[in-house]
């Protein structure tokens, strides 16, 4: 009886363990990640993309400084096709993050806060710092010196959103090269 139980259990465990490991790993370890150091700050800003889309988009904005890490789930879905997330320096130490389809945030690295960016927020004095996007098949930070600003709207147009001059239906990396 024990041998029969082992003969049944062994193949099940052989399949179950790798599948379980893959599921747990995809929830705990990002599939793609990139970060950059913020100027005049002792902080970094980054993106993490996870494969678990069952309960959220799998896209996370991450800010790290000496005090710790803050993480904000972003609502923009389908990071495999729409990864581009633009970063702007505001001048007072805060950072604006513009994601696809107006998934926008205001980050205060020193205060360790990430808030939803309100419509109508003045953006004319912002400085484009760069964007997170796929480069050579990997998520990377692409500085403003390499590419012009562009945040994908995915066909949705809203002129009252911050930084309308930096938004477009699609963002083609080749066309954005400086």
- Residue 74 CB neighbour total at 10 angstroms: 23
Q: What digits encode the pLDDT tens for the residues 71-102?
A: 999 988 778 778 899 999 998 999 999 999 89
- pLDDT for the residue 22: 55
Global model pTM greater than 0.85: no
Q: What digits encode the pLDDT tens for the residues 35-75?
A: 999 998 899 999 998 887 566 678 899 999 999 999 999 98
**Confidence bin at 32 (pLDDT 50/70/90):** confident
Q: Domain map of the chain by residue range? A: 1-29, 31-176
**Confidence bin at 28 (pLDDT 50/70/90):** low
Question: C-alpha angle with apex 66: 64 to 68, nearest 5 degrees?
Answer: 55
CB 152 within 8 A of CB 169: yes
Report the alpha-carbon distance of residue 132 to residue 111 in Å, rounded.
Answer: 23
Q: Tell me how many helices (H) and strands (E) the chain has.
A: 2, 12
Q: Are strands 103-108 and 167-168 parallel, antiparallel or unpaired?
A: unpaired
């Amino acid at each position: 009886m024990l041998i029969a139980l082992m003969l049944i259990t062994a193949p099940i465990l052989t399949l179950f363990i790798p599948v379980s490991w893959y599921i747990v790993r995809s929830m705990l370890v990002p599939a793609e990640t990139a970060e950059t150091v913020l100027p005049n700050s002792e902080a970094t800003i980054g993106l993490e993309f996870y494969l678990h889309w069952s309960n959220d988009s799998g896209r996370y904005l991450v800010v790290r400084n000496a005090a710790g890490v803050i993480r904000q789930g972003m609502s923009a879905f389908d990071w495999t096709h729409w990864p581009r997330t633009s970063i702007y320096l505001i001048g007072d130490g805060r950072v604006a993050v513009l994601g696809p389809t107006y998934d926008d945030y205001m980050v205060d690295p020193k205060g360790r806060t990430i808030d939803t960016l309100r419509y109508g927020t003045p953006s004319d004095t912002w400085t484009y710092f760069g964007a997170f996007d796929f480069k050579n098949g990997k998520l990377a930070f692409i500085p403003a010196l390499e590419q012009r600003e562009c945040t994908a709207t995915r066909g949705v147009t809203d002129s009252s959103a911050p930084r309308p001059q930096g938004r477009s239906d699609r963002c083609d990396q080749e066309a954005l090269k400086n």
